[in-house]
């Protein structure tokens, strides 16, 4: 079963029908004018000082035998990187009360690199946008397995506490930012444990 695909919804529609109900969705056709989308990948790699990884991605990983471990850059912090001003938060999420800089991450991996089933840190929700490539997502909620393919410039919304897994169908570069809307309540719950 596929998760819902929304065509550039209003903030209100997304908030009432998906975020407030903790239902994952894919948003397409949201207008993005991010400078990072215009940057050649080798510039991005240079900004992040990951030239060796870039060479691995463009050449070596294609010649690895299937039993060789692969390299997947995960949770690369964009905080204080020279790229942090080359994109901004999509308007659906920009008024969330808690979206710390150190929850801004970049993911960059070869075909078939993946993230196992997990929920996100500190009961946070997240948005994820692919800059290049394609990802397959799986979500588990309502006792069902849902899936979805995410392409360039599309937004995946992952609600708090929803189990999900991800596999890069092609080499894939993406940006994600986790956030909380009700962190005061969550801090309080943690204190009471």
| 176 contributes a contact to ligand AKG by CB under 6 A | yes
CB of 139 to Fe ion, least distance (A): 10
CB of 126 to Fe ion, least distance (A): 6
| 120 contributes a contact to ligand AKG by CB under 6 A | yes
Cα pseudo-dihedral 84, 85, 87, 90, rounded to 10:
100
d(CA 104, CA 42) in angstroms, rounded, equals 21
CB of 145 to ligand AKG, least distance (A): 16
Spell 63-78 as b/e; 16+ CB within 10 A means b.
Answer: eeeeeeebbbbeebeb
| 17 contributes a contact to ligand AKG by CB under 6 A | no
Neighbouring residues of 176: CB distance < 8 A, sequence distance ≥ 6: 104, 105, 106, 107, 126, 127, 128, 129
Q: Between 29 and 121, name the residue whose CB sits nearer to Fe ion.
A: 121
CB of 17 to ligand AKG, least distance (A): 22
Tokens 């948003």 belong to residue: 27
Applying CB under 6 A, which part among 8-16, 19-27, 43-51, 120-128 lies near ligand AKG? 120-128
List the beta bridge partners of residue 122: none
CB of 191 to ligand AKG, least distance (A): 25
Neighbours of 107 (CB within 10 A): 22
* Total residues interacting with ligand AKG, rule: CB under 6 A: 10
| 120 contributes a contact to Fe ion by CB under 5 A | yes
**Contact at 8 Å (CB) between 155 and 27?**
yes
* Total residues interacting with Fe ion, rule: CB under 5 A: 1
By the criterion CB under 6 A, which residues form the site for ligand AKG? Answer: 107, 115, 120, 126, 128, 135, 164, 166, 174, 176
């Amino acid at each position: 079963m596929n998760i819902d695909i929304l065509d550039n919804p209003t903030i209100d529609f997304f908030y009432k029908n998906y975020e407030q109900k903790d239902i994952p969705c894919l948003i397409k056709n949201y207008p993005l004018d991010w400078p990072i989308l215009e940057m050649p990948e080798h510039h991005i790699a240079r900004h992040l000082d990951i030239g060796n990884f870039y060479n691995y991605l463009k050449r070596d990983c294609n010649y690895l035998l299937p039993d060789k471990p692969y390299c997947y850059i995960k949770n690369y912090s964009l905080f204080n990187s020279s790229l942090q001003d080359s994109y901004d938060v999509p308007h659906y999420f920009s008024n969330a009360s808690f979206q710390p800089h150190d929850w801004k991450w970049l993911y960059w991996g070869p075909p078939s690199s993946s993230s196992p089933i997990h929920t996100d840190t500190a009961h946070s929700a997240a948005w994820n946008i692919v800059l290049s490539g394609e990802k397959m997502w799986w979500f588990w909620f309502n006792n069902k397995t849902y899936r979805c393919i995410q392409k360039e410039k599309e937004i995946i919304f992952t609600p708090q506490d929803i189990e999900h897994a991800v596999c890069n169908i092609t080499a894939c570069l993406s940006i994600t930012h986790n956030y909380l809307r009700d962190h005061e309540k969550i801090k309080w719950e943690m204190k009471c444990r």
